[in-house]
Amino acid sequence: MAPGKLRGTIQNDVLKEYIARGTYIFPPAESMRLITDIFSFCGANVPKWNTISISGYHIREAGSTAPQEVGFTLADGIAYVEAALRAGLAVDDFAPRLSFFFNSHNDLLEEVAKFRAARRLWARIMRDRFGAMKPESRMLRFHTQTGGSTLTAQQPDNNIVRVTIQTLAAVLGGTQSLHTNSRDEALALPSEDSVRIALRTQQIVASESGVTNTVDPLAGSWYVEHLTDTIEARAAEYIERIDALGGMVRAIEEGYPQRQIQEAAYACQREIESGDRVVVGVNSYRIEEPPPSGLLRVDPSLEQSQRAKLDAVKSGRDSGAVRNALAVLEKTAGTSGNLMPPIIECVRRYATLGEICGVLRRVFGEYRPRVIL
């Protein structure tokens, strides 16, 4: 799509203003362009590289339920696979290198069931919907980060316990890798001591708890199996609804997942405020606390230091080579050519991320969410 054109209908004056300012709405083909180019390039050049991390973390952080996290994340995955197939890629060539990224919250057994449901549902989607033949193409390999939105500024040491529960849930649910948040992240960037405690939490669970000695250790538990079935069914319902809307890109344009997450977040907040959902130290078991101490304070001089380093890179690079590389990128972006080789060349010539993205904005436009009235 040439710059200045808009896919869809101008719905209100806000969108008219976006156009007047020179910003646009990405059409689905261009919103997936970088994804499919990465799949194609990496499949040929770095075949063992995990090409994408399909994230549900931000969905849960925004307030979604566990079934919504699974349903919306896998719907994103479906959109990526469909885009790759439209670009002419074979599913068994790129699907084995897809990876996912989930959140882990405090309800231990629900979280274990969530991870189990996601794996089972994705395997079925890849087999039945996309005809994937390789077992590796049906695997849902995922990274987990503990829940940032569950951390409290009140009694921050309680967050050590929360993170431990969330870590255990992720491991029992089969995560391949894990990030544990630090106890003081509701107050500041974590201190070194807090980061060490978070790291030791992982190491104790991995080395001392015994839960890593067997695969899927809670399989066969009546309650866990029931929760797994329930979450899988509810997540599948969200995917069916998104399919009926025309896919995840169209659903996002219509505001469907945003509304569902907003409603879930609002319901959760109401439960906390009413006391129906207990948050220890926030609405129950409160104490008088002194102001927090030992928080990390970032030295403002670091910004100036980083600016100086950037200026030094720019002054020392071959400016002509940078301009030529960016020009090739701009030309390629206007065609169907793969964007990865010219992007890599720009990096080799020390073009900055801002300069590279600026070129893509000029060609593709800048995404703005539709305003749903």
pLDDT of residue 365: 87
Task: Give the residue carrying structure tokens 């089972």.
Answer: 120
Residues 102 and 115: their CA atoms lie apart, in Å, by 8
Number of H-type helices and E-type strands within the chain:
16, 4
Q: What is the pLDDT confidence band of residue 11, given thresholds at 50, 70 and 90?
A: very low
Residues 65 and 131: their CA atoms lie apart, in Å, by 30
Task: Give the residue carrying structure tokens 């992240």.
Answer: 185
pLDDT of residue 18: 34
Mean pLDDT of 245-266: 95
Q: Which two tokens stand for residue 297?
A: 């304070």
Residue 100's DSSP bridge partners are 54, 142
Residues 233 and 236: their CA atoms lie apart, in Å, by 5
Report which DSSP code applies to 106.
S
Residues 179 and 199: their CA atoms lie apart, in Å, by 8
Q: Which two tokens stand for residue 284?
A: 């129950």
Give residue-wise pLDDT tens across range 147-156.
999 999 999 9
Boundaries of every domain in the chain:
25-274, 304-364
Let me know if 109 is exposed, middle or buried by CB neighbors in 10 A (0-12, 13-18, 19+).
Answer: middle
Q: Which two tokens stand for residue 216?
A: 């899927």
pLDDT of residue 41: 97
Give residue-wise pLDDT tens across range 170-193.
999 999 999 999 999 999 999 999
Half-sphere exposure of 165 (CA within 13 A, CB side): 14
- Domain 25-274 CATH assignment equals 3.20.20.240: yes
Mean pLDDT of 295-303: 93
Task: Collapse the DSSP code of 49 into the 3-class scheme (helix H, G, I; strand E, B; otherwise coil) and give the result.
Answer: coil
Q: What is the pLDDT confidence band of residue 19, given thresholds at 50, 70 and 90?
A: very low
Report which DSSP code applies to 129.
I
Task: Collapse the DSSP code of 90 into the 3-class scheme (helix H, G, I; strand E, B; otherwise coil) and give the result.
Answer: coil
Task: Return all residues near 319 (Cβ < 8 A) that are at least 6 apart.
Answer: none
Residues 56 and 35: their CA atoms lie apart, in Å, by 17
DSSP code string of 156-196:
TTHHHHHHHHHHHHHHHTT-SEEE---TTTTTSSPPHHHHH
Give residue-wise pLDDT tens across range 320-360.
999 999 999 999 999 999 999 999 999 999 999 999 999 99
Give this prediction's pTM.
Answer: 0.89
Q: Which two tokens stand for residue 244?
A: 């009926």
Q: What is the pLDDT confidence band of residue 369, given thresholds at 50, 70 and 90?
A: confident
